[in-house]
Structure 1
Amino acid sequence: MKLNFIHGFLGRPSDWEKIKIYFKDFDLQFHSISDYILENNINHNNDFLNWSQNFNNSCLLNKSNHKNIIIGYSLGGRLALHSLISKNFQWDAAIIVSANPGLSNENEKKLRIEKDLHWSHRFLNENWVDVIKDWDSQPTFAGIQNTLVRKKEEINKNEIFDILNRFSLGKQNDLQESIEKLKIPILWVSGEKDTKFSSITNKIQALNSGIQIAIIPHAGHRVPWEAPKEFSDLCISFLSKL
């Protein structure tokens, strides 16, 4: 069974190294979001669609006879959802963590695009430590210290600017109707202290009763790193039933 992990915004593939000890019996592949961006897409038209098709095509080239599972966290979860509904690759199952299926209100989309543009300029131009402190103080992170340290010298600010604007939630379609039609096994996870996304998780189950949901106690938005054993045990239990 091959597990394909996609990190979140400000993340990198090595983030998943912290939990791979729990997945010794699986073939693990840690993907970088930037590797599948269509660079010549100047107007950013259909960035989500282009990304998911590039990602799926890459996974198809390396497809084995084993089951192929996609695991995405936050932005990686949103990109994973687009990969699930893309028609050029059939995934066997998915684990979606702390992800938003999309906004339905056009005014909310516009405001989110403006908000992400503001953040992207801050990441690009302001003191890194100050911006990260403000970013981590957002309610969704529930005041829990981030163990995934992001040192300034390890960061490509232009790439951060690009990713945040290309994949703004405001530019994403509302995927609820598509999620409702998905038939493959899906586990949707969030943290109890991340009240916004735990609310979304509960709504997802109402949207598609075939989706298994789990809200992990004492965790905020960064579930896999705040509750690594609980998260991994949950995933392995889900995967063992496939």
Structure 2
Amino acid sequence: MIKVHFIHGFLGFPSDWDSFKEDMNEYNYKFHSISDYMSPHSNNENSKFVLWAMKFNSSVFKEPIKNKNILIGYSLGGRLALHALIQSNKWDAAIIVSANPGLSHEAEKQARIANDIAWANRFLNEKWENVMESWNSQGVFSNMKNILTRDEKQFNKNEVASMLTDFSLGKQENLREKIKSLHIPILWLAGDKDSKFANVTMEMKELINTIEIKIIADAGHRIPWEKPKEFKEVCFNFINKNLIK
């Protein structure tokens, strides 16, 4: 039996993946909430990612393994998924969607940290609707910016701010070399209208030839919800090819 684990992105919910349940009757599936595995007690910035991955893996693999386990992570969830893969050899495959393996230069990291702190302060102090309008107007989301609605009542603002600062891309280790050491099938996806992440995806293929990549036509950052049919098809093809023997 195959068990598929989904990790949502920033401002996401496990329910964001509900539309995929119908098509996954042949698999087991579990939708995880990022906040369930947050560890606020460490002062070491990079270890926030490591602690998250350790807690996540401990939860997933607390029982004897009876399934083949595949991890699907989107955006921030994709970055956290990479940490989970690196922390455990119990994963059988992974699909990484619109995610960055890490920044290479210190100046880039510091700029990203400052940007995420600014966003965190906006979420804490400004009117929710105004901040969401600005958030969804960012270039990576411009293709279908209102595809997932988010109501202020669904969130704890302090948790939103913590997620931005604790899991800032600027605080993340550059994982490229560690990803090279993974010996499992990995599919890396990006949308062709999301040029930054499409470039990252093609760069990962050049760096690690064994990674499969797919650039989804006419899609931006939010591939699973912008192009659900194409997303399901490419995921199922990957799973069937690599995990069904």
Taking structure 1 as the reference length, the TM-score comes to: 0.96
Number of matched pairs:
241
Shift of residue 120 of structure 1?
A: 0.5
Shift of residue 219 of structure 1?
A: 0.9
Q: CA 1:63–1:197 in structure 2 vs 1: closer, same or farther (change >3 Å)?
A: farther
- Maintained 8 Å contact 1:136/1:143: no
| Worse-superposed segment, 170-179 or 44-53 | 44-53
In 2, the alpha carbon distance for the partners of 1:193 and 1:63 equals 42
Shift of residue 218 of structure 1?
A: 1.1
In 2, the alpha carbon distance for the partners of 1:207 and 1:105 equals 17
Do residues 186 (structure 1) and 162 (structure 2) align?
no
In 1, the alpha carbon distance for the partners of 2:156 and 2:231 equals 29
Q: CA 1:19–1:137 in structure 2 vs 1: closer, same or farther (change >3 Å)?
A: same
Unaligned runs of 5+ in 2: none
- What amino acid is aligned across from residue 123 of structure 2 in structure 1? F
Q: CA 1:89–1:68 in structure 2 vs 1: closer, same or farther (change >3 Å)?
A: same
Taking structure 2 as the reference length, the TM-score comes to: 0.95
- What amino acid is aligned across from residue 159 of structure 2 in structure 1? E
Per-residue CA deviations over 1:43-71 (Å, capped at 9, x if unaligned) read 54510000001111111114532101111
- Maintained 8 Å contact 2:120/2:165: yes
Do residues 121 (structure 1) and 114 (structure 2) align?
no
- Maintained 8 Å contact 1:56/1:89: no
Do residues 78 (structure 1) and 70 (structure 2) align?
no
Shift of residue 89 of structure 1?
A: 4.3
Please, what is the CA RMSD of the aligned residues? 1.3
- Maintained 8 Å contact 1:205/1:211: yes
- What amino acid is aligned across from residue 17 of structure 1 in structure 2? D
- Maintained 8 Å contact 1:60/1:89: no
What's the % identity of the aligned pairs?
52
| Worse-superposed segment, 176-185 or 90-99 | 176-185
List 4+ stretches of structure 1 deviating above 6 A.
none
Give the alignment of 1:1-242 within 5 angstroms: 1-42=2-43, 44=45, 46-86=47-87, 88-241=88-241, 242=243
Q: Secondary structure at the match of 1:193?
A: coil
